[in-house]
Amino acid sequence: MVVRPGRTPVLQGEPADGGPWVVEAGVFSAWLVGDDHRPLWLDLLGPGDGVGPSSGGPSPWTVTALSPARLRCIGPGRAAQLADARQARLAAFAADLASLDVTSRVERRLTDLARRFGRAVPDGVMIPMRLPQEQLGALAGTSRESANRALQRLMAAGRVSCVRRCRYVVHQPLRVVS
């Protein structure tokens, strides 16, 4: 199935028609609306990630295409494996929310996105998609203003840089070779 940017193949609270799927190409946001009616971005999904509930029941979150994308139907066994991987990432996110300060959470999310989606550049790994501060803040469980302050600290420390508007390079620390 081809999905255009802005389209939503999975809605929070609804069963996924024709799913579950695996992402073959493109990027999706996985987000939900909380009791306070504010969106919380849980994750970005890319090639190899599962989309849609593995059980066929209602989805706990909404999935929206951020770029032109392609999904392929998968069987229940594969869907359960992908759901386990997604749950592990969400559990790590919950642990980060409970134990890390905002700057560390922003850096951790950028590092994870660089690892999963990034392209090597001379001084680090560039995350190829636009991440406005509001979305980055939501991915780190904070406000746009706090994400902005965290980014300023990370840039001042030389750990992250912004290239072009809302695109980030995560700089790799030097490793000692013995």
Per-residue pLDDT tens digits for 37-66: 877 888 999 999 988 877 767 888 899 999
- d(CA 70, CA 119) in angstroms, rounded, equals 20
Q: How many CB atoms lie within 10 A of CB 170?
A: 22
pLDDT at 68 > cutoff 80: yes
Tokens 């909404």, located at residue: 62
The answer to whether 45 and 26 have CB atoms below 8 angstroms apart is: no
Which class is 101-170 in CATH?
mainly alpha
The structure's pTM equals: 0.84
**What is the amino acid identity at position 28?**
F
Provide, rounded to the nearest whole percent, the portion of the chain with pLDDT above 70.
96
Where is mean pLDDT largest: 23-27, 37-41, 132-136, 139-143? 23-27
Please give the average per-residue pLDDT across 158-178, as a whole number.
Answer: 79
Provide, rounded to the nearest whole percent, the portion of the chain with pLDDT above 90.
55
Domain positions in the chain are: 2-98, 101-170
Helix (H) or strand (E) holding 79: helix 76-99
Fold of 2-98: Jelly Rolls (2.60.120)
Helix (H) or strand (E) holding 71: strand 69-73
HSE-CB for 91 with a 13 A CA cutoff:
6
Q: What is the pLDDT of residues 114-124, one digit of tens each?
A: 999 999 999 89
- d(CA 84, CA 116) in angstroms, rounded, equals 17
Q: What is the pLDDT of residues 3-45, one digit of tens each?
A: 999 999 999 988 877 778 999 999 999 998 888 887 788 899 9
